[in-house]
Amino acid sequence: MSVKTVKASQVIMTELVLPNHTNPHSHLLGGQLMLWVDICAALCAARHSNAVCVTASVDKIDFHHPIKLGEVVTLEASVNRVFNSSLEVGVKIYAESFYSGVKIHSNSAYLTFVSINSEGKPVPAPKIIPETEDEKRRFEHAGVRREQRLKNRIK
């Protein structure tokens, strides 16, 4: 089984908030952001696994600040931890205004993916090596979140 670093599979995606992405208050629709988050996280999981990865769960998406029409949204996805065929991916979302130059951390999300083969069966994903203190912290917290997910599983 191969091993990869967190950096090896990181994905950064950039989107511009256009009128068709907004609600009547000219704020980004939550569902549009969730779509971008899922795509960015799936690309990260697939890059790590070298396989198709399907979304198994979305633990949490926090909406800290509204994102406005015309702002640039940057999504940064990293694999936090690999369990076997499942991977937890964390996504940080930033909103940036061209006018003010201010960039804020607007949202965060945690998603779980399963690495699958061409028959749709789960396959082991490469293990991850957390190198930085932040990566080690996220690795440990991913284990706690997984325990909670397993406790809440419908039987």
The band of 21, judged by pLDDT with boundaries at 50, 70 and 90, is very high
**Residue 101: pLDDT over 70:** yes
**Residue 1: pLDDT over 70:** no
Boundaries of every domain in the chain: 3-151
Of the chain, the percentage scoring pLDDT greater than 70 comes to 99
Quickly name the fold that domain 3-151 has: Thiol Ester Dehydrase; Chain A (3.10.129)
Give the per-residue pLDDT at 133: 97
**Residue 37: pLDDT over 70:** yes
**Residue 36: pLDDT over 80:** yes
Give the per-residue pLDDT at 33: 97
Q: DSSP letter string over the chain?
A: --EEESGGG-EEEEEE--GGGB-TTSBB-HHHHHHHHHHHHHHHHHHHHTSEEEEEEEEEEEE-S--BTT-EEEEEEEEEEE-SSEEEEEEEEEEE-TTT--EEEEEEEEEEEEEE-TTS-B-PPPEEE--SHHHHHHHHHHHHHHHHHHHT---
Q: What does the pLDDT look like over 107-138, one tens digit per residue?
A: 999 999 999 999 999 999 999 999 999 999 99
Region 37-43: mean pLDDT is 98
**Residue 149: pLDDT over 90:** no
